[in-house]
Amino acid sequence: MSDGLFEKGAITGIGETAYTRGSGKSDTALQMEASLKAIADAGLSPKDIDGVVPYASGSTVAEDFITNLGLPDLRYSATTPLGGASCVAGIQAAVSAVATGLANHVLIPIGRNGYSGSRIGNRVQQMPQFRTIGEYEMPLGTLAPAQLYSHMARRHMELYGTKSEHFAKIAMNGRKHAAMNDNALRQAPMSLDDHQTSRMIADPLRLFDCCLESDGGAAVIVSASERAKDMVRKPAYIMGVAEGHPDSPSAITQRPDITTLGTAKAAPRAFGMAGITHSDIDVAEIYDCFTYIVLCQLEDLGFCKKGEGGDFVSSTSFGFDGDLPLNTHGGLLSQAHIVGMNHVVELVKQLRGDAGAAQVKGARIGLVTGYGDMGDGTVAIMRS
Amino acid sequence: MGEQGTMEIERLYPLPNPDSQPYWDGLRDRRLMLQQCADCGSIRHYPRPVCDQCYSMEVHWIEASRRGTVHSWSVSHHAFHPSFKADLPTTFVTVDLEENVRLVGILRDPEVTLSIGTALQVGFEDAADGAFSIPVLFAA
Ligand SMILES: [Zn+2]
């Protein structure tokens, strides 16, 4: 396996706004606030930023960062339109840019009013990745990710005996960690009974299987590794990074195996590039738009075999002090929906030893995933 | 605004183009039409311009059997647009058609107990405002 981008880049700065429901700020303001925090965290000036990867499904373009931050010479820009897999795909693009010398410090910002902002659906059919289901499935009333993804979950349950209680354990784990995090929206404890009695949204997915809708921004800086070693923060070196697209990427229902995500293609590439095995992972921040999607990724990442996700979830402790510390910030389910950039930021904090109450003791190597647009999967493996 | 995960989404209507018009016309005429590659004979769905088996762009349309079996399903208890509220709970079924492609339809037969492999047949109905027609499903 090619070592490709192995340790060619590192995350050198992180920034987050407050995560709220009602920011009172524009999407652009949220992105700029997070970007300025990340640049300051890296010990850089905006004048040092020479690359930017804006969120492809968002409201800004590279030009907005030149205008607002006064970037004197932006040399590299790209977008990675993979929905919730975009942030980690953005890391892949950024490392490619710093590895080849196209740029030195690449800013990856995200920010949106996912709760208080305007409705998201009116653009769906104009977005090429949703054109197919927008034409053939959504007119029937199966509009939302919860509805579309529940077909995957139901088939997994029927084929492999996976239970709603397995999903509950993932939701409860996120909530436990959110309660330890000052910048998390959901702090009240969640019991198994709370999960099992939460409102059914799209059977088998209940309300507590679904992520939050929230307002906020987050950003990271990816720098060339030879620069990172002299910067103010302990770098999070990117050992492996990859993206994968499932067969029939635009329509889940036409996919040969609807229980397998693009993650299954990305994971061997990311682990191969990093040159490590699953037992080397000290902490995992796994994209959790829905509880089932976490269980499915655990399989597709290779932590267990396809179909064994239920048993694996039952037999593994996911707390910050457990067998496989998982979503130590609370995730999209209980911290906030910042499109997975909050997962990237949390992994960097863990590798710096800066993760507060939910710090995983001695965390040295960690994994972060993205997932989106009906099945795209991204994986990054980092070390301190 | 919704609570967690329940934000309202715009109602969507089909926007037929030359690749998909025969499919929508077929549903209106109570016929389930599928694309077949005119060169290698592969049947494909959803409609699109190229055969991914032989890369031919020549296509003809066949009328499908309307017979299939359950691949998976989902029961919506929340309408993500008000126009679907009256229809709750709504069972959406992914069906493996005999033609070896899949189709999503709304189950309209309360007697059916769903499990993988349950035999179903495709029927048709007009969408609430009559703007287009959709596939619905009954016991075979
Ligand atoms: Zn062909």
Ordered by start, the domain boundaries in chain B are 16-63, 65-140
Residue A197 lies in a domain: no
User: Is the residue at A251 inside a domain?
Assistant: yes
A174 CB neighbours in chain B (<8 A) are none
Measured from the Cβ of residue A364, the count of other Cβ atoms closer than 10 Å reads 15
Distance from CA of A335 to the nearest CA of B (A): 12
Nearest chain A residue (CA) to B12 = A139
Contacts of B129 in chain A (CB under 8 A): none
Residue-averaged pLDDT of chain B: 93
How close, in Å, is residue B59 to chain A by CA atoms? 19
Residues of chain A neighbouring B1 (CB-CB closer than 8 A): 115-116, 213
- Between the CA of B44 and the centroid of ligand 1 the distance, in Å, is 9
pLDDT at B86 over 80: yes
| A27 assigned to some structural domain | yes
- The answer to the question of residue A202 being in a domain is no
pLDDT for A264 equals: 98
Q: What class, spelled out in words, does domain B65-140 have in CATH?
A: mainly beta
Spans in chain A with pLDDT lower than 70: 1-2, 118-126
Laid out side by side, the sheet with B33-37 consists of B43-44, B33-37, B59-63
Start-to-end C-alpha separation, chain B? 41
Pick the closest to residue A153 from B100, B51, B74, B70 (CA basis): B74
Q: In chain B, what residues touch A113 (CB-CB under 8 Å)?
A: none
- Whether residues B104 and A155 touch (CB distance < 8 A) is answered with no
How many of the other CB atoms lie within 10 Å of CB of A354? 12
Q: What is the pLDDT of residue B2?
A: 40
Q: What is the ipTM of this complex?
A: 0.95
B38 CA from centroid of ligand 1 (Å): 7
A200 with B104: Cβ contact below 8 A = no
Residue A26 lies in a domain: yes
Task: For residue range A74-107, list pLDDT tens digits in order.
Answer: 999 999 999 999 999 999 999 999 999 999 999 9
CA-CA distance, A316 to A325, in Å (whole number)?
9
Instruction: CATH number of the domain at A54, please.
Output: 3.40.47.10
Determine if the pTM surpasses 0.90.
yes
**What's the start-to-end Cα distance of chain A, in Å?**
23
**Domain region containing A275:** 9-117+211-383
3-state helix/strand/coil string of A11-38: EEEEEECCCECCCCCCHHHHHHHHHHHH
* Structural domain contains residue A160: no
- Please give the pLDDT value at position A117: 77
Beta carbons of A143 and B12 less than 8 Å apart: yes
- pLDDT at residue A121, as a whole number: 47
Burial of A11-43, coded b for 16+ CB within 10 Å and e otherwise, reads bbbbbbbebbbebebebbbbbbbbbbbbbebbe
- Out of B10, B76, B134, closest to residue A147 by CB: B76
What's the pLDDT score for residue A2?
59
Beta strands in A304-375 (DSSP E): 365-372
- Judged by DSSP in three states, B32 sits in coil
Say if the Cβ atoms of B72 and A143 lie within 8 Å: no
Q: Is residue A126 part of a domain?
A: no
Whether A148 maps to a domain, the answer reads no
The domain total for chain A is 1
